[in-house]
Amino acid sequence: MSVLTHPTPVAPVRTPSKRTVLMCRPDFFTVNYRINPWMHPQNPTDTSLAVKQWEVLYQTYLDLGFTVELIDPIDGLPDMVYSANGGFVLDGIAYGALFTYEQRAAEGPAYMDWFREAGYTVAEPEHTNEGEGDILLVGDVILAGTGFRSDIESHQEVAKLFGREVITLNLINPSFYHLDTAVAVLDPSPAPGEKANIAYLESAFDEPSLKILRERYPDAILVSEEDATVLGLNSYSDGYNVVIASRALGFEKQLRERGYNPIGVDLSELLLGGGGVKCCTLELRR
């Protein structure tokens, strides 16, 4: 008597792509104010440990063959290490950040100055936005978050500036106040004919946004609350290698099953400020 068996699905072959990113050493990192649920100024932080952990991330990118540019940190701007919030760069145009909270306001001009000196065309924002924290390029489409930090009017500004389709997603969980804490872009440069995919946390979004995500990304990885709460989704991918929080073990397994190569790093000290891998990584696209 024969037994019917079902073949084990074969994960697709993933191909890494070269990436160019901007980072900022956390030489002045501390938590001395509270602008998100992760921050507790009464608890001590260790700047030297934050630097050591950041250096591991920096070296990981170099080992992967990335080009890593650096912006000088500024004393008095402890959150400047979260470079992803400094802007959104595409087609050689740098759309600057206009921060919600006064404590981070000076970061916007600092990053725009760096973009100008690096030869990018700078578009100064008219509406509040926090850069790649809420603006993510997924293939040819831009996913844009709102609800806590970025005004929905900034999405219209981005659409007009870059001529791309911009899809608004509404965040509803204060712990996931930026889109890049609730969505991970897994395929930044999909091959012709292939569709970019993502991973996300369902509970971070309202129902209309979930409907959009389910329809557009039916094969998305759905990440657990446990992995999301160590900012596992705040990750960075080159299409094959995905740098993630080392404690996001479930997400690591999910990525391996899909043919990606997860690389865990410990940024637990920077997590005290509400940031992880992606927060420390601003992609530069000429």
* Position 4 pLDDT exceeds 80: no
Q: Is residue 113 part of a domain?
A: yes
Q: What is the pLDDT of residue 195?
A: 87
* Position 240 pLDDT exceeds 50: yes
Q: How far is CA 126 from CA 99, 123, 129, 157, 158, in A?
A: 11, 9, 9, 8, 11
Rounded to 5 degrees, φ, ψ at 143 are -90, 130
Q: Is residue 162 part of a domain?
A: yes
Residue 234: pLDDT band with limits 50, 70, 90 = very high
Q: Is residue 31 part of a domain?
A: yes
| Exposed/middle/buried for residue 6 (C-beta within 10 Å: 0-12, 13-18, 19+) | exposed
Residue 13: pLDDT band with limits 50, 70, 90 = confident
Of 242, 241, 240, residue with least CA distance to 276: 242
The residue from 6, 40, 127, 178 that is catalytic is: 178
CA distance 67 to 103: 30
Q: What is the pLDDT of residue 177?
A: 96
* Position 9 pLDDT exceeds 70: no
Q: Is residue 279 part of a domain?
A: yes
Q: Is residue 10 part of a domain?
A: no
At 106, which CATH number?
A: 3.75.10.10
Containing structural domain, residue 117: 20-283
The tally of domains found in the chain comes to 1
The residue from 6, 24, 127, 279 that is catalytic is: 279
Residue 211: pLDDT band with limits 50, 70, 90 = very high
Q: What is the pLDDT of residue 191?
A: 80
* Position 2 pLDDT exceeds 60: no
- Per the annotation, the verdict on 127 as an active-site residue is no
Q: Tell me: the pLDDT tens digits for 129-181?
A: 999 999 999 999 999 999 999 999 999 999 999 999 999 999 999 999 999 99
Residue 193: pLDDT band with limits 50, 70, 90 = confident
CA distance 267 to 280: 10
Q: Is residue 136 part of a domain?
A: yes
Q: Is residue 4 part of a domain?
A: no
Query: What is the average per-residue pLDDT within 104-131?
Result: 98
Q: Which residues contact 70 (CB under 8 A, 6 or more apart)?
A: 22, 23, 24, 25
Query: What is the average per-residue pLDDT within 83-111?
Result: 98
**Joined tokens for residue 158:** 């981005």
Q: Is residue 7 part of a domain?
A: no
